[in-house]
């Protein structure tokens, strides 16, 4: 096997990678196991990918760990996922601190069980001084809900007379998003063969490179991340410009 790791150009890494970790249930079913077994094995992948991103020097990693729509799953699975999140954070927080990882949570925090809110708040406090990888967990997250909340915040400012509709800027709008202060993801990975965005960071992914792989999340390990990064580095990011402009670094006439 070629050494994928050494082929990665560290000067051209995405500053923010977002991942839809899909396929835990199918991975477990294919092995004749309960779906929850797939989520447990998925945590091993989480650990590996966090480790790999920290080691490479990626600044932000956002993981879609629980969507707002996931509340509709059978209660036993929802309970098992919440317990897994709480236990994993409790178990890993010392290592996160030691490895200079700073934890953040985006999503409808108030809708999470009390114990989950407590554990996450504590882990965010413990890691708040860290300066390495920012690990962002999307929990009870819905991009449409986040956009709606941002629109409400702007509407309140307008209603209070603090802002005129014609003066609203993209920065004003972004200030109301959960991801305020984070760079937009430059690479979005979805595992398990589904080619959808599924209500994940709809605003923030405007210019992201999308990478879809058939590999189920519990099988997605460091080598798979390196594969995705090499694919990303082979692409040309044009942001609406022509290929010639990008290659010659031509600044458009104004
Ligand atoms: C999608 O697979 C996965 C989830 C809904 C949960 C992902 C959560 C984890 C891996 C645990 C995360 C833990 C931490 C600490 C971040 P699926 O169940 O939808 O799979 P399927 O599409 O095959 O049914």
- In 3D space, the residue among 221, 220, 200 whose CA is nearest the CA of residue 139 turns out to be 200
pLDDT reported for residue 252: 64
C-alpha angle 218-184-109 in degrees, rounded to nearest 5: 65
Q: Is residue 162 part of a domain?
A: no
Burial letters 69-105, b for 16+ CB under 10 A, else e: eeeebeeeeeebbbebbbebbeebbeebbebebbbbb
Identify which of 29, 42, 112 to mutate to test ligand 1's pocket (most ligand atoms within 8 A of the CB).
Answer: 42
Look at residue 253 in the predicted model and tell me its pLDDT.
61
**Closest residue to atom 1 of ligand 1, CA basis:** 22
Residue 83's domain comprises 12-141+184-236
User: Ligand 1 centre from 21 Cα, in Å?
Assistant: 6
Question: Where residue 126 sits, what CATH number does that domain have?
Answer: 3.40.1180.10
The CA-atom distances, in angstroms, between 147 and each of 96, 109, 175 are: 30, 15, 11
Output the pLDDT for position 131: 98
Whether residue 157 is contained in a domain is answered as no
Q: Judge whether 93 lies within some domain.
A: yes
Pick the catalytic residue: 3, 24, 51, 70? 70
- Contacts of 70 by beta carbon, 8 Å cutoff, 6+ apart: 78, 81, 140
> Is 99 among the residues known to form the active site?
no
Asked if residue 152 belongs to a domain, the reply is: no
One of 22, 178, 184, 224 is an active-site residue; which one? 22
Give me the tens of pLDDT residue by residue for the chain, a chain 254 residues long: 459 999 999 999 999 999 999 999 999 999 999 999 999 999 999 999 999 999 999 999 999 999 999 999 999 999 999 999 999 999 999 999 999 999 999 999 999 999 999 999 999 999 999 999 999 999 999 999 999 999 999 999 999 999 999 999 999 999 999 999 999 999 999 999 999 999 999 999 999 999 999 999 999 999 999 999 999 999 977 778 787 877 887 666 64
Residue located via tokens 């069980």: 113
In a domain, 254, yes or no: no
pLDDT of residue 118: 98
Cα(239) to ligand 1 centroid in Å equals 32
C-alpha dihedral, 68 to 73 to 76 to 80, nearest 10° = -40
Distance 147 CA to ligand 1 centre (A): 24
How many domains is the chain partitioned into structurally? 1
- Ligand 1 pocket (Cβ < 6 Å) reads 21-26, 35, 39, 42-43, 46, 63, 65, 70, 81, 84-85, 88, 137, 192
pLDDT at 2: 59
Is 119 part of a structural domain of the chain? yes
The answer to the question of residue 4 being in a domain is no
191 part of a folded domain: yes
């Amino acid at each position: 096997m070629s050494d994928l790791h050494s082929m990665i150009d560290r000067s051209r890494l995405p500053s923010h990678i977002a991942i839809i970790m899909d396929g835990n249930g199918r991975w477990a079913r294919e092995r004749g196991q309960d779906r929850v077994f797939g989520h447990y094995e998925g945590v091993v992948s989480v650990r590996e990918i966090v480790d790999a991103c920290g080691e490479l020097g990626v600044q932000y990693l956002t993981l879609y760990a629980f969507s707002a729509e996931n509340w509709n799953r059978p209660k036993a699975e929802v309970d098992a996922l919440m317990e897994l999140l709480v236990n994993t954070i409790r178990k890993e927080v010392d290592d996160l601190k030691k490895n200079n990882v700073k934890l953040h949570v985006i999503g409808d925090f108030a809708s999470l069980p009390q114990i989950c809110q407590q554990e996450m708040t504590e882990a965010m406090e413990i890691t708040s001084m860290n300066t390495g990888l920012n690990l962002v967990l999307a929990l009870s997250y819905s991009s449409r809900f986040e956009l709606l909340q941002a629109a409400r915040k702007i509407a309140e400012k307008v209603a209070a007379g603090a802002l005129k509709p014609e003066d609203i800027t993209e920065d004003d709008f972004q200030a109301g998003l959960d991801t305020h202060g984070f760079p937009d993801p430059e690479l979005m990975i979805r595992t398990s063969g589904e080619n959808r965005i599924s209500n994940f960071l709809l605003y923030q992914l405007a210019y992201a490179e999308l990478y879809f792989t058939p590999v189920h999340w519990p099988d997605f390990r460091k080598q798979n991340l390196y594969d995705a990064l090499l694919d990303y580095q082979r692409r040309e990011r044009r942001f609406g410009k022509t290929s010639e402009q990008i290659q010659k670094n031509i600044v458009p006439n104004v």
